[in-house]
Amino acid sequence: MRRAEKWLFAGVALVGLVCLAWLIVAGVLLWAVLDPADWATVREALGGRAGLLIFLWALALVPVSAVLRHLIARYITAPARLAEAARLRLDHPVDEPLQADGSFETRQLAAIFNTLIARHRQLQEATDERVAEASRRIELERGRLAALMSELRKSVVVCNLDGRILLYNHRARAQFRRLSGTAEVTGGAELMGLGRSIYTVLDRRLVGHALDTVRRRLDSGTDSPAAQFVTATAGGKLLRVQMSPVTETVDSETEAPRLSGFVLLIENITDDMRADAEKDRLLQSLTEGSRAALANTRAAIEILADGEVDESMRERLLGVIHEEVTGLSERIGQLSDSSAARLRSRWPLEEMLGSELIDAAVRHIEQELPLAAQRKGNGEAIWLKVDSFSILQALAHLAGRVAEAHGANAVELRLSRHSERAALDLLWKAATEANGMDANWEDEPMRTGDEQLSMSVNDVLERHGGTCWHESANGSEHCFRLLLPLAEPGEHPGSQPRQTRESRPEYYDFDLFAITPESHSLDDTELGALTFTVFDTETTGLDPSRDEIIQIGAVRIVNGRVLRQEFFEQLIDPGRSIPTASTAIHGITPEMIRGQPDLDTVLPAFHAFCRDTVLVAHNAAFDMRCLQVAEKRTGVVFDQPVLDTLLLSAVVHEHQAEHNLEAIAERFGLAIIGRHTAIGDAMVTAEIFVRLIPLLAEQGIHTLGEARAAAQKTQFARMRY
Amino acid sequence: MSTILIADDEPNIVISLEYLMKREGHEVLVARDGDEALAMIGEHHPDLVLLDVMMPGRSGFEVLKSVRADETIAGTRILMLTARGRDTDRAKGEALGANGYVVKPFSTRELAEQVREMLGDD
């Protein structure tokens, strides 16, 4: 309010001066107007009362200052206060509306300010909500895409232009597991993972050529610019690969869309090729092989027909004919037997548990027809290979005829084994006097409800390589039997236990589209852009020169995210005993490592898993020493750069005393699951590491080189093994 | 002397079968398709029927079913002949009540033996 007081002081002084000036001027004027005699009279009259005049003047200043104060408060201070309060609300939202006292105009201003503030806030909230909703929608679509991709029956892999994998589905993962040479150890994870290069599986030139084809087709504006090629993998498997472009949206319509990556649909056609080759071979042996036999026979017959053959010659020719024909019969018999098993139906048949098919059939029949349907018996678990939809159609048709022609109102379904096939029986009791079955239900076109199909039940069974017929023990109990193929053992989709997944596995990271090829050295790359393999080992003891590694656990970090699904976990047989003291720590007993592969098998696989990444471990000096010692034996060299979370934690939290894994995890609020198992520790270390990266950035450490340098400066870096 | 009915639409096999059965000392009847076969079975009540599966009109299976469903001829011995080697056909034939099943090409000696056996157990 100092300013206000200054104003007041100035105002009062001004008024005072003005009054004084007026008095003086009045006095001067009076003196000028009055003649000396009158002036002397006035001076006499006023004389001693000049003091009174001064006093009056001073007194008058008091009400003046009061009035002035009021005016200042109203017209200067109040707006100033309003300005202050309003300025505050510019930067921070304040809930209380502006109050103003003062003049009417000031109060109006306050009201307008309040309105403007409220509007601004509404606008802000609306914008925020729109952004949040858009993000939600994008997340939803991503989730849908992920769900779609993960359940597709074809292998799908999406790569950026560098050939780095940024999306793959469940099937691709399973397929690459089969292609991997070290599948029992790595599960194929060294081939298929986010951020890994597709060129470890597919030939770079082949992919490059296909990419060129796709580019050319894109530029020329073809409808579906795709390219196909067939390639053999190192393991001798044949893959058919279809490549489609992923394009960026462009603004103008005249520009051809730009390629930002490609989608690969990968199919393993080794088995198909083999089956086709086998069929061709059978056909070949039948045609070519029979020519000779027929030639021999024909020649013999033609000579016999001549008529001028003597008895012994006739005998011999008949013998020839007999021999050739019997030989041909035998060969046909053999081929027929051997090929019957291999000639599979071209129709797509699925493996299905028999009881599931029956349940579906029961539901279908009860829905479509005025019949009660029931399962009969509880056959053992029979796996069928069927096209369930057409089987259901067939059963519905038959059941319909049953209801019509035999007046039955209930049917039963039974499944049993019948030599090498399965027998699915439709059972019913005829209500009316059955006069046999005039028409063959299996040959007529199937009918469900009002629809008539062009297929018959027989056609459906042909597709399955089976057959069907009608039996009736006495005239009233009937059975219609369908012979269906059994699924080959070991191919059942549900026979592998489904791993319980708490969260949907993340097989994609679309941010990887944008990553450009590494044009600078690793040390200059930002930590967030690098791929890391975080690992931990469990050993028989604490002396790397004498103790052996018995477990390795590792997990990948790509684009700043811990990929929990891309992990490596393996127990190793060390070829020596495990001291009970160490078992007490990591819980690995001699029984657990029995039958596990040895280090010579596992280390190369682990090396493949870590390919092209930066290694991270807690107290990495120890783990790296163990790996170095193993180098001589296995010949596997780990020359990747290494970061140690122990040292980095000391860099970031230099005043903390404890830098062991539990302490750091607690500091970050992380729960440790599986402490002292290699994979458990690796996971925790990984979670710690991703949290260290932003903390390092706050200290000005952004790149790998900077992190390594900073780590070296800590006291722990002095530890040597 | 037994009556044998040969039901097959292929004359090239009928000629040999007929000769074979006659040589065995049986009376031989011939039907060219399923309907004719069924009619002749009903009329002549043969002791054995050599029944081909793949015939125009009624198939051998249909004939088999009709025969077994008709009480007057249900007991007729039926030996099925077929050029289809599938095991499903054999299963179907057995289930429908065929007494025997022979896949072409067959040995005439073995066929004659089988016919003898089937006629033997009266």
Helices (H), A152-226: 170-179, 183-186, 204-220
Round the average pLDDT of chain A to a whole number and report it.
Answer: 83
For residue A655, the SS3 value is: coil
- CB contacts of B62 in chain A (<8 Å) are 440
For chain A, say whether B92 makes contact (Cβ under 8 Å). yes
Query: Per-residue b/e over A554-590, b at no fewer than 16 CB within 10 Å?
Result: bbbbbbbebbebbbbbbbbbbeeebeeebeeebebee
Q: Which chain B residue shows the shortest CA-CA distance from A474?
A: B69
Query: Helix A270-306 and helix A311-342: axis angle, to 10°?
Result: 160
Tell me if A340 and B86 make a contact (CB, 8 A cut-off). Answer: yes
Tell me if B91 and A470 make a contact (CB, 8 A cut-off). Answer: no
For chain B, say whether A467 makes contact (Cβ under 8 Å). yes
**Smallest CA–CA separation between B1 and chain A, in Å?**
31
- CB contacts of A333 in chain B (<8 Å) are 85
Q: Which secondary-structure segment (H or E) carries A54? A: helix A50-72
Instruction: Identify the pLDDT of residue A556.
Output: 93
Residue % of chain A over a pLDDT of 70: 90
Average confidence (pLDDT) over A454-459: 86
Tell me if B95 and A440 make a contact (CB, 8 A cut-off). Answer: no
For chain A, say whether B12 makes contact (Cβ under 8 Å). no
Instruction: Identify the pLDDT of residue A289.
Output: 77
Tell me if B89 and A336 make a contact (CB, 8 A cut-off). Answer: no
Nearest to A466 among B66, B69, B88 (CB): B88
Q: What is the DSSP letter of B4?
A: E
Distances (CA, A) of A532 to A528, A644, A674, A685, A686: 10, 12, 21, 12, 9
Instruction: Identify the pLDDT of residue A438.
Output: 59
* Local confidence band at B35 (pLDDT 50, 70, 90 cut-offs): very high
- CB contacts of A419 in chain B (<8 Å) are 87, 91
* Local confidence band at A340 (pLDDT 50, 70, 90 cut-offs): low
- CB contacts of B61 in chain A (<8 Å) are 469
Give the integer Cα–Cα distance in Å for A427 and A373.
10
Instruction: Identify the pLDDT of residue A499.
Output: 46
* Local confidence band at A49 (pLDDT 50, 70, 90 cut-offs): confident
Q: Which chain B residue shows the shortest CA-CA distance from A465?
A: B88
Q: Predicted ipTM?
A: 0.84
A490 sits in the region (left: phi over 0; alpha: psi -120 to 50; else beta) called left
Give Cα A709 to chain centroid, integer Å: 35
**Smallest CA–CA separation between B65 and chain A, in Å?**
9
Average confidence (pLDDT) over A333-343: 68
Give Cα A641 to chain centroid, integer Å: 28
- CB contacts of A297 in chain B (<8 Å) are none
For chain B, say whether A332 makes contact (Cβ under 8 Å). yes
User: Do A614 and A643 contact (CB within 8 A), yes or no?
Assistant: yes
Average confidence (pLDDT) over A357-365: 89
For an interface test with A, give the residue of B88, B103, B111 to mutate (most A CBs within 10 A).
B88
Instruction: Identify the pLDDT of residue A464.
Output: 86
pLDDT of A516 over the 60 cut = no
Pairing of strands A155-160, A165-168: antiparallel
The tokens for B42 are 């009903």
Give the integer Cα–Cα distance in Å for A283 and B34.
33
Instruction: Identify the pLDDT of residue A385.
Output: 87
Please provide residue A429's backbone torsions phi and psi, each rounded to the nearest 5 degrees.
-110, 130
pLDDT of A616 over the 90 cut = yes
Give the integer Cα–Cα distance in Å for B48 and B27.
11
Angle at A644 between CA A642 and CA A648, to 5 degrees: 125
User: Do A535 and A610 contact (CB within 8 A), yes or no?
Assistant: yes
User: Do A159 and A166 contact (CB within 8 A), yes or no?
Assistant: yes
pLDDT of A77 over the 60 cut = yes
Q: Which of A541-550, A636-645, B80-89 has the lowest mean pLDDT?
A: B80-89
Which one, of A3, A182, A163, A29, lies nearest residue A607 by Cα? Answer: A182
Tell me if A470 and B65 make a contact (CB, 8 A cut-off). Answer: yes
Give the integer Cα–Cα distance in Å for A419 and A485.
11
Q: Which of A8-12, A102-106, A490-494, A534-538 has the lowest mean pLDDT?
A: A490-494
Residue for token pair 């004939």: B63
> How many helices and strands, by DSSP H and E, does chain B display?
5, 5
Instruction: Identify the pLDDT of residue A514.
Output: 66
Which one, of A592, A599, A499, A619, lies nearest residue A547 by Cα? Answer: A599
Please provide residue A295's backbone torsions phi and psi, each rounded to the nearest 5 degrees.
-60, -45
- CB contacts of B82 in chain A (<8 Å) are none
Residue for token pair 């291999």: A342
pLDDT of A226 over the 80 cut = yes
Give the integer Cα–Cα distance in Å for A100 and A88.
15
Q: Sign (positive/negative) of CA torsion A31, A35, A36, A38?
A: negative
Active-site annotation holds for A397: no
Instruction: Identify the pLDDT of residue A87.
Output: 83
For chain A, say whether B88 makes contact (Cβ under 8 Å). yes
* A32-43 pLDDT tens trace: 888 888 777 877
Average confidence (pLDDT) over A301-323: 88
Round the average pLDDT of chain B to a whole number and report it.
Answer: 89
Q: How many A-B residue pairs are in contact by the CB < 8 A criterion?
A: 40
Three-state SS across A246-271?
Answer: EEECCCCCCCCCEEEEEEEEEEECHH
Which one, of A639, A638, A660, lies nearest residue A716 by Cα? Answer: A660
* Local confidence band at A612 (pLDDT 50, 70, 90 cut-offs): confident
* B43-75 pLDDT tens trace: 999 999 999 998 888 889 989 988 988 888 888
**Smallest CA–CA separation between B43 and chain A, in Å?**
20
* Local confidence band at A720 (pLDDT 50, 70, 90 cut-offs): low
**Smallest CA–CA separation between B120 and chain A, in Å?**
27
Average confidence (pLDDT) over A201-223: 86
For chain A, say whether B82 makes contact (Cβ under 8 Å). no
Instruction: Return residues 14-33 of B near A (CB < 8 Å).
Output: none
Q: What is the DSSP letter of A198?
A: G
Burial of residue A424, with CB atoms counted within 10 A of its CB: 0-12 exposed, 13-18 middle, 19 or more buried: buried
User: Do A615 and A638 contact (CB within 8 A), yes or no?
Assistant: yes
The tokens for A377 are 């018996």
For chain B, say whether A469 makes contact (Cβ under 8 Å). yes
Give the integer Cα–Cα distance in Å for B46 and B44.
6
Give the integer Cα–Cα distance in Å for A65 and A73.
12
Q: Sign (positive/negative) of CA torsion B56, B59, B62, B67?
A: positive
Instruction: Identify the pLDDT of residue B18.
Output: 92
Highest mean pLDDT range out of A442-451, A530-539, B80-89? A530-539
Nearest to A467 among B85, B88, B105 (CB): B88
Residue % of chain A over a pLDDT of 90: 16
Nearest to B69 among A421, A436, A467 (CB): A436
Give the integer Cα–Cα distance in Å for A118 and A126.
12
* Local confidence band at A688 (pLDDT 50, 70, 90 cut-offs): very high
* Local confidence band at A292 (pLDDT 50, 70, 90 cut-offs): confident
User: Do B103 and B88 contact (CB within 8 A), yes or no?
Assistant: no
Burial of residue A300, with CB atoms counted within 10 A of its CB: 0-12 exposed, 13-18 middle, 19 or more buried: buried
- CB contacts of A332 in chain B (<8 Å) are 105
Tell me if A421 and B88 make a contact (CB, 8 A cut-off). Answer: yes
End-to-end CA distance of chain B: 13
**Smallest CA–CA separation between A437 and chain B, in Å?**
9
Nearest to A467 among B66, B89, B105 (CB): B89
Give Cα A426 to chain centroid, integer Å: 45
**What order of strands is seen across the sheet that includes strand A165-168?**
A165-168, A155-160, A258-268, A238-248, A227-232
For residue A303, the SS3 value is: helix
Distances (CA, A) of A478 to A395, A399, A431, A437, A447: 14, 12, 11, 11, 20
- CB contacts of B69 in chain A (<8 Å) are 436
Candidates A492, A607, A676, A702; catalytic one: A676
* A248-271 pLDDT tens trace: 876 666 666 778 889 999 888 887
Kindly write down the DSSP assignment for every residue of B16-58, as one continuous string: HHHHHHHHTT-EEEEESSHHHHHHHHHHH--SEEEEESS-SSS
Residue for token pair 């992380």: A670
